[in-house]
Structure 1
Amino acid sequence: MIVATGLTKRYGSSVAVDGIDMVVEPGRVTGFLGPNGAGKSTTMRMALGLDRPSAGSITVDGRAYADLPAPLREVGALLDAGAVHKGRTARDHLTVLALSNGIPRRRVDEVLDLVGLTGVADRRAGGYSLGMSQRLGIAGALLGDPGTLLFDEPVNGLDPEGILWIRTLMRSLAAQGRTVLVSSHLMSEMALTADHLVVIGRGRILADTSVRAFLDEHAASWVRVRGPRPAELAAALGTAGLEVDALADGALAVRGAGAPDVGERAADAGLVLHELTTVQASLEEAFMQLTADSVQYSAAVPDRHLVPAGA
């Protein structure tokens, strides 16, 4: 279990993390989300003793990382896949970690096999692709068979098979009762992977809730309806006080009522329906809505007339 209490980090006059209180519980995958510069990586670095809090604390199973007697056996982390000596092979890199932490050599082969690097284990890490480097970083995190795992953007550089693999791995680790904290900008992937969400913006907690509760609160749903007489259908629904918008494929987007009510309105008007579906907004849409005021680096949308043709 990871517990942060009043966790704060200042760099001069800048506040990167501002009084965070959170509990990352075992047995579930917790997605740690936020815009760039929100304080996610800084929080993870403080959890691993790489940065010292300006105030407050963050502990793993009740102890600061520096006080853990065998850190790699208790906490595994992937913060930077490039933090590997480029002249060492993957096997040598993991062997050094194992020997320095009292971990049996056989565990090196086990994690190489687990992450799919056995065939390239004796190649120098400097020749690895980004995806291979990610797998090596994950192998290092798993080396001590720890009960707590922190992953910062673990799917960067992975192909679709690799993304499915890391998703399955994280969920299986949580199912074993481990604490799993994952930071990612891929909202679609977090929707499939995480059980719980902690959303941070400008160093402060914006949400700490289950994925389902987060969607229910921040992702508005609407009704997609389609029939052979769309103009009459739109008029009937509009007369009933519902908000109706035409979609490009001829269907209608209806807001202000659920699917059963929309269907009944159409029936009252004697109109046939070919489609009646409730559409739930995505996690990405909900996240963007919640963090709209917390984005520090927001790019303007270019005027299409200013973009050269073929650029």
Structure 2
Amino acid sequence: MIQLNGLTKRYGEHAAVDDLTFTVRPGLVTGFLGPNGAGKSTTMRMILGLDLPTSGSATVMGRPYRELRHPLHTIGSLLDASAVHPNRSAYKHLLFLAQTNGIPDTRVREVLDLVGLADAADRRAGRFSLGMGQRLGIAAALLGDPPVLLLDEPVNGLDPEGVRWARTLMRGWAAEGRTVLVSSHLMSEMAMTADRLVVVGKGRLLAEGDIADFTGSDQLVVVRTPDAGSFARRLELSGARVDPGLSGELLVTGMTAPDVGRLAAAENVTLHELSTRGPSLEETFMELTRDAVEYGAAR
């Protein structure tokens, strides 16, 4: 578990993080979202003890990071995958981390295999592609088999197969009861990966909740039927609003998909499609953060 209580970081008059309070619970993937300059990286650095807060606190499993005797056994992190000596092999990089945290050498080979770098273990990290560097960073986060994982843009540079692999990995960790906090600018990927979201802007908490809280409202019911005209009138008589779609479908609001299906069955209407559409996570995110963007393009 990660807990933030009134966490604040000021640089002079500027508040990079302003009174943040939230909890990242085990068993879930929590997405940490915000525009550039929102304070996400500063928050993560304070969780890891790399920056000291001006006020407030951040704890991991009930303790500040600096009080963790062997940190990699408690929290694994990926902030900057390029922070590796370029002339050091992947194996040696992980071995040195393992030795400083009392982790057996055999674990190094295990995590290299887990992230798909077993065949590149003896290659110098400076020759790695961006995606391979990300995999090495994830391997370092997993070294101590920690119950808490904190990842900043973990899929940056990964190809589609790698992105899917990382998504499966994160969801698997959460399914094991681990605490997973992950930041990303890829809204479509967060929509498929995260169970909960924390959204910040200009250092302040803007919203938090289950992923459905951000995408599950204002649902449209999409109906395709060869009896579109007559069924549209029947839907309207039942209190729904019906608008025509661009491809001949009916866009229904004011009635749930199950209710539309029951009405179709009662009226012996053949349905070729019955589905729902809601606002995308990207649309909800843009609306939430429109006044918290540090550098916005001209409109």
TM-score, structure 2 as length reference: 0.88
| 1:214 correspondence with 2:181 | no
Correspondence for 1:295: 293
- State the aligned residue count: 299
CA 1:106–1:274 in structure 2 vs 1: closer, same or farther (change >3 Å)? Answer: closer
1:65 offset after TM fit, Å? 0.9
List aligned pairs for 1:180-259, cutoff 5 A: 180-216=180-216, 219-228=217-226, 244-259=242-257
Provide the secondary structure at the position in 2 that maps to 1:116. coil
Provide the secondary structure at the position in 2 that maps to 1:293. coil
CA 1:104–1:259 in structure 2 vs 1: closer, same or farther (change >3 Å)? Answer: closer
CA 1:231–1:36 in structure 2 vs 1: closer, same or farther (change >3 Å)? Answer: farther
Equivalents in 1 of 2:94, 2:262: separation in Å? Answer: 64
State whether residues 117 and 135 of structure 1, in contact with CA within 8 Å, keep that contact through their aligned partners in structure 2.
yes
State whether residues 103 and 144 of structure 1, in contact with CA within 8 Å, keep that contact through their aligned partners in structure 2.
yes
Correspondence for 1:63: 63
Gaps of 5+ in 2: none
Q: Structure 1, residues 280-304: CA drift from partner, whole Å, max 9, x if none?
A: 3332233223223322222235xxx
Correspondence for 2:282: 284
Correspondence for 2:82: 82
List aligned pairs for 1:1-311, cutoff 5 A: 1-216=1-216, 219-228=217-226, 244-259=242-257, 274-300=272-298
Provide the secondary structure at the position in 1 that maps to 2:151. strand
Equivalents in 2 of 1:225, 1:237: separation in Å? Answer: 11
Correspondence for 1:307: none
CA 1:229–1:293 in structure 2 vs 1: closer, same or farther (change >3 Å)? Answer: farther
Equivalents in 2 of 1:125, 1:228: separation in Å? Answer: 60
Equivalents in 1 of 2:121, 2:273: separation in Å? Answer: 53
Equivalents in 1 of 2:272, 2:73: separation in Å? Answer: 58
CA 1:254–1:85 in structure 2 vs 1: closer, same or farther (change >3 Å)? Answer: same
TM-score, structure 1 as length reference: 0.85
CA 1:235–1:124 in structure 2 vs 1: closer, same or farther (change >3 Å)? Answer: same
CA 1:299–1:105 in structure 2 vs 1: closer, same or farther (change >3 Å)? Answer: same
State whether residues 42 and 51 of structure 1, in contact with CA within 8 Å, keep that contact through their aligned partners in structure 2.
yes
Q: Structure 1, residues 179-235: CA drift from partner, whole Å, max 9, x if none?
A: 11111122222222222221212212222222223333xx42112233447677767
Equivalents in 2 of 1:164, 1:264: separation in Å? Answer: 37
State whether residues 237 and 266 of structure 1, in contact with CA within 8 Å, keep that contact through their aligned partners in structure 2.
no
CA 1:259–1:131 in structure 2 vs 1: closer, same or farther (change >3 Å)? Answer: same
Correspondence for 1:305: none
CA 1:87–1:177 in structure 2 vs 1: closer, same or farther (change >3 Å)? Answer: same
Equivalents in 2 of 1:3, 1:285: separation in Å? Answer: 28
Equivalents in 2 of 1:138, 1:270: separation in Å? Answer: 54
State whether residues 6 and 55 of structure 1, in contact with CA within 8 Å, keep that contact through their aligned partners in structure 2.
yes
State whether residues 236 and 266 of structure 1, in contact with CA within 8 Å, keep that contact through their aligned partners in structure 2.
no
Q: Structure 1, residues 62-103: CA drift from partner, whole Å, max 9, x if none?
A: 211111111122111001111111111111111111122222
CA 1:111–1:259 in structure 2 vs 1: closer, same or farther (change >3 Å)? Answer: closer
1:48 offset after TM fit, Å? 0.5
What's the % identity of the aligned pairs? 62
Equivalents in 2 of 1:48, 1:261: separation in Å? Answer: 50
CA 1:246–1:294 in structure 2 vs 1: closer, same or farther (change >3 Å)? Answer: farther
1:266 offset after TM fit, Å? 8.6
1:262 offset after TM fit, Å? 5.8
CA 1:231–1:292 in structure 2 vs 1: closer, same or farther (change >3 Å)? Answer: farther
Correspondence for 1:304: none
| Pairwise CA RMSD | 2.6
CA 1:248–1:81 in structure 2 vs 1: closer, same or farther (change >3 Å)? Answer: same
